[in-house]
């Protein structure tokens, strides 16, 4: 009898352990969003962190192991992960998370993308055919992705569908209030011209009404050169910027060189969840981003 009772409770424990919706997020922002919506109903694995360039990741066995167990994979899309995600998907052997299946969700496909090229030419650098993939830095896009993500979670885990919808509604209410606050706080940033290391901040700048007047990379994905930086320095006379921005995963040398020559503030932005101590979650990401920009613009 003891063995039967133990077996019964062990079976229950195993069932509950397996009830978690296992989410494989290619980047921290979408993992954080899945956690906000799913709470205790989900188990989230982030394939990258804020100090890694999401374009350039090695498809390590640890990623394959996590992808093999996943019920849902959420990717940035627009070819951001083109260098490694196809390998992970192929070698995971997990049919559930393949493109076109319910277990695969691409964030970029859910929003209007910026910088979609009219022609493709490798001479122009690492240009994404589907447009700029860094969509998460417009909080309005986060809300759109969240709605689709909640619906997909509910589809994949029907017994917890109501919990996912409730989780999204709770998140959306807090997020909309936070967006109104961020926009009010960031009003002084409208029209402020900036230099950027990479085209990481296109959605952020458009949302805040800021203006990009130059990039430290001569072409997207091509590391800054001394000649190109010197040209940007000369352009300060006719097209001046007020600060130079880089993401937490980008080298500080080029922006510090520009800052040293011009006196411009070199502003490090978290870019994603975990990029700074303050950016512990999605709310902290935008709180800290807005405050760092305001400080740089003074």
On the question of pLDDT at 118 being above 80, the answer is no
Q: What is the residue range of 71's domain?
A: 15-107+137-181
Same domain? For 165 and 40 the reply is yes
Same domain? For 152 and 269 the reply is no
Q: Which helix (H) or strand (E) holds 148?
A: helix 139-156
pLDDT confidence of residue 116: 83
pLDDT confidence of residue 124: 54
Same domain? For 221 and 245 the reply is yes
What is the rounded average pLDDT for all residues in the chain?
Answer: 91
Residue with tokens 């900036």: 194
Region of poorest pLDDT, from 9-18, 206-215, 221-230, 246-255: 9-18
Let me know if residue 115 belongs to a domain: no
Q: Which of 181, 211, 233 is a domain's end point?
A: 181
Let me know if residue 207 belongs to a domain: yes
Q: Which two tokens stand for residue 271?
A: 């870019």
On the question of pLDDT at 128 being above 80, the answer is no
Same domain? For 94 and 211 the reply is no
Q: What CATH number is associated with residue 220?
A: 3.40.50.1980
pLDDT confidence of residue 127: 60
Over residues 230-251, the pLDDT tens digits come to 999 888 888 999 999 999 999 9
In this predicted model, which residue has the larger pLDDT, 128 or 144? 144
Band (221; pLDDT cuts 50, 70, 90): confident
Same domain? For 152 and 77 the reply is yes
On the question of pLDDT at 1 being above 80, the answer is no
Same domain? For 29 and 152 the reply is yes
Q: Which two tokens stand for residue 78?
A: 């627009």
Backbone angles phi, psi at 261, to 5 degrees: -80, -25
Band (142; pLDDT cuts 50, 70, 90): very high
Let me know if residue 288 belongs to a domain: yes
Same domain? For 53 and 149 the reply is yes
Share of the chain above pLDDT 90, in %: 80
Residue with tokens 């969003």: 33
What does the alpha-carbon distance between residue 220 and residue 149 come to, in Å, rounded to a whole number?
A: 30
Q: DSSP characters for 1-64? A: -HHHHHHHHHHHHHHHHHHSEEEEESSHHHHHHHHHHHGGGEEEEESS-TTS-TTS----HHHH
Let me know if residue 59 belongs to a domain: yes
Let me know if residue 119 belongs to a domain: no
Same domain? For 60 and 172 the reply is yes
Same domain? For 63 and 161 the reply is yes
On the question of pLDDT at 2 being above 90, the answer is no
Query: Considering its fold, how many domains does the chain have in total?
Result: 2
Over residues 248-278, the pLDDT tens digits come to 999 999 999 999 999 999 999 999 999 999 9
- What are the residues whose beta carbons fall under 8 Å from the beta carbon of 107, sequence distance 6 or more? 30, 74, 75, 76, 77, 135, 136, 141, 145
pLDDT (mean) for 177-206: 97
Let me know if residue 121 belongs to a domain: no
Same domain? For 74 and 155 the reply is yes
Q: Distance between terminal CA atoms of the chain?
A: 74
Same domain? For 66 and 166 the reply is yes
Q: Which of 117, 149, 181 is a domain's end point?
A: 181
Same domain? For 73 and 167 the reply is yes
Let me know if residue 1 belongs to a domain: no
On the question of pLDDT at 119 being above 70, the answer is no
Region of poorest pLDDT, from 69-83, 157-171, 223-237, 255-269: 223-237
Q: Which of 153, 181, 209 is a domain's end point?
A: 181
Let me know if residue 228 belongs to a domain: yes
């Amino acid at each position: 009898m003891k063995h039967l009772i133990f077996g019964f409770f062990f079976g229950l424990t195993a069932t509950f352990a397996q009830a978690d919706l296992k989410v494989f997020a290619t980047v921290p922002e979408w993992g954080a969003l899945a956690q906000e919506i799913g709470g205790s109903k989900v188990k989230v694995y982030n394939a990258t962190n804020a100090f890694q360039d999401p374009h350039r990741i090695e498809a390590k066995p640890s990623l394959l192991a996590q992808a093999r167990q996943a019920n849902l994979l959420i990717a940035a899309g627009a070819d951001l992960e083109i260098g490694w995600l196809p390998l992970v998907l192929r070698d995971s052997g997990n049919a559930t998370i393949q493109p076109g299946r319910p277990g695969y969700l691409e964030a970029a496909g859910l929003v209007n993308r910026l910088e979609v090229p009219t022609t493709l030419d490798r001479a122009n650098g690492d240009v994404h055919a589907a447009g700029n993939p860094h969509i998460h830095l417009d909080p309005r896009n986060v809300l759109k992705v969240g709605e689709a993500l909640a619906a997909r979670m509910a589809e994949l885990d029907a017994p917890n569908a109501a919990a996912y919808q409730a989780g999204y509604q709770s998140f959306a209410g807090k997020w909309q209030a936070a967006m109104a606050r961020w926009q009010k706080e960031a009003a002084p940033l409208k029209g402020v011209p900036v230099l950027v290391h990479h085209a990481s901040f296109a959605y952020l700048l458009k949302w805040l009404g800021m203006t990009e007047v130059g990039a430290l990379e001569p072409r997207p994905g091509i590391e800054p050169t001394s000649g190109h930086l010197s040209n940007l320095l000369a352009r300060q006379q006719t097209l001046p910027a007020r600060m130079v921005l880089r993401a937490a995963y980008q080298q500080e040398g080029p922006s510090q060189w520009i800052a040293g020559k011009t006196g411009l503030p070199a502003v490090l932005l978290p870019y994603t969840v975990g990029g700074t101590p303050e950016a512990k979650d999605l709310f902290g990401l935008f709180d800290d981003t807005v405050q760092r920009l305001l400080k740089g613009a003074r």
